[in-house]
Amino acid sequence: MPRRCSRRRFLRHSIAMTGAGMLAAAASPAPGFQTPSTRPRLGLVGCGSRWGWQLANGGSYGAGPRFASFGNYAAVCDVDRRRMEAAQTLVEKWGGEKPDAASDYRAILERDDIDAVLCFTPDHWHAKVAIEAMLAGKDVYCEKPMTLTIEEGQQIGEVCRKTGRVMQVGTQQRSDLRFLTAIALIRAGRLGRLRTIECGIGGGPTSPAIPLADAPAELDWNQWLGPAPETPYRSLSPAPNEVNAYSRCHYEFRWWYEYSGGKLTDWGAHHMDIATWGLGKLAEGPLSVEPLVCEHPVPFENGYPTVDDRYNTATKFDLKVSYASGVELRIRSHARNGILFEGDEGRIFVSRGNLTGKPVDQLKDNPLPDGAIEAVYGNDSLAGNPVRFDSAAHVRNFFEAMAARRQPVSDVFSHHRALTTCHLAGIAARLGRKIEWDPARETIVDDEEAQSFVGRKKRDGFEILGLG
């Protein structure tokens, strides 16, 4: 089994770092510990933009350096050789030591000197990497959305319980003071009884017809597809996006149901996560999801796109989610980005840049009780330490949870509850009809066709290993 840093040793060597100070510390070889030997060793799977591809190209986006504040990268893995080599260069720049590289993630899972696996792959790989990593004795940080299907969330929860591993989902808004304050206000009864919630998550993009093309020499396209159905590579340049190309691959995988859920699991994974937290996390799942408005860029038949050469996820939608408590939640593509909570005594709007509403204004004269924010967060990590969305607080929470052997703030169980609603919304959107959900049994009611979308068969040779 991999060696583990003890809670006592972790806490003895850790230092307080907040806001910009945490980000600046990423360049230091051991800011969270006195000696490198006490720091967890990390294996990275997926070196794309969310981890740091933009950083390798002069941009400012990527979570990679935040992990270097608390652990040492031992190895990096990607099926794109160019991205893998760029990750090696970045890690060496941050910590002074070049990590090993592998094109097959199993080379990382087999190593007994790696404590935690960072999963930054496209969505359709998340469950396979995370589950197999936990079964190999590793803790896991997995980017959102945690899963491609509801069934995968059930499997991850089962394996997490069975193995006792720590797994943090990259829904960073749970470590943002604005969102924490919003939840604390709800818990303190400042809105009264919740009546409605609106999640504005933006609409999905469209593409022109994308022609067949040869995959780049540095990309193992078959391995990139992995559990997803086999299909030819497609690409068309230029395009007004991060990778300057319409494609089925890097970054643009988000707009294909084969690999993602579109905006419903992209931004939806963030805002529905907070909405569900406001409802009480595991307290209740939805009873039904109804697509009042839903538009796709291609025709569908029986829930599947009939055109395979252009983006196929929903571009415009208004979905109504109903709960047993009487709360009605709307997921809208053209509402203001953020979450609007409305109760019978007040309303608040929260986003990455705003926290507004009368209950917020009243905090001047009627502050929240001492410890209210810490109670929401689950520990005192944020006591007196205001954090920004771009801080390392969420990453730090993962390492603290590893040291304490407890579940982190964005645990797999509550995130599965939130993400289930996103997946149900996707199923309703694809089929164009209301679906009923049994939250206790986690099954769709009296609709075999809809139930068939709860899980997906993995491509032969890419099944999740180790599941009973």
Which pairing describes strands 72-77 and 41-45: parallel, antiparallel, or unpaired?
Answer: parallel
pLDDT of residue 392: 82
The pLDDT of 163-183, averaged and rounded, is 95
C-alpha closest to that of 394 among 84, 54, 50, 98: 50
**Position 223 pLDDT exceeds 90:** yes
pLDDT of residue 382: 55
pLDDT of residue 388: 52
Q: Rounded CA gap, 313 and 205, in Å?
A: 8
pLDDT of residue 282: 75
**Position 3 pLDDT exceeds 50:** no
Q: Rounded CA gap, 41 and 407, in Å?
A: 19
- Percent over 70 (pLDDT), the chain: 89
CA 112 from chain centre, in angstroms, equals: 26
* Residue 376 identity: V
Angle 249-251-253 from CA coordinates, rounded to 5°: 50
pTM of the model: 0.91
Is residue 35 very low, low, confident or very high in pLDDT (cuts 50, 70, 90)? very low
Q: Rounded CA gap, 144 and 234, in Å?
A: 25
pLDDT of residue 36: 53
**Position 25 pLDDT exceeds 50:** no
**Position 212 pLDDT exceeds 80:** yes
Query: What are the residues facing 321 on neighbouring strands?
Result: 289, 329
List pLDDT tens digits, range 225-267. 999 999 999 999 999 999 999 999 999 999 999 999 999 999 9
List pLDDT tens digits, range 364-410. 999 999 989 989 998 655 545 555 544 688 999 999 999 999 999 99
**Position 124 pLDDT exceeds 70:** yes
Q: Rounded CA gap, 91 and 52, in Å?
A: 10
**Position 465 pLDDT exceeds 90:** yes
**Position 10 pLDDT exceeds 60:** no
Say if residues 100 and 90 touch (Cβ distance below 8 Å): no
Q: Rounded CA gap, 60 and 54, in Å?
A: 6
pLDDT of residue 17: 27
Phi, psi angles (nearest 5°) of residue 205: -80, 165
pLDDT of residue 188: 97
**Position 37 pLDDT exceeds 80:** no
Say if residues 323 and 279 touch (Cβ distance below 8 Å): yes
pLDDT of residue 7: 33
**Position 453 pLDDT exceeds 60:** yes
Q: Rounded CA gap, 185 and 190, in Å?
A: 5
pLDDT of residue 30: 36
**Position 211 pLDDT exceeds 80:** yes
- Percent over 90 (pLDDT), the chain: 85
Q: Rounded CA gap, 424 and 447, in Å?
A: 13
In angstroms, the Cα distances linking 388 to 173, 331, 364, 385, 395 are 10, 25, 21, 10, 13
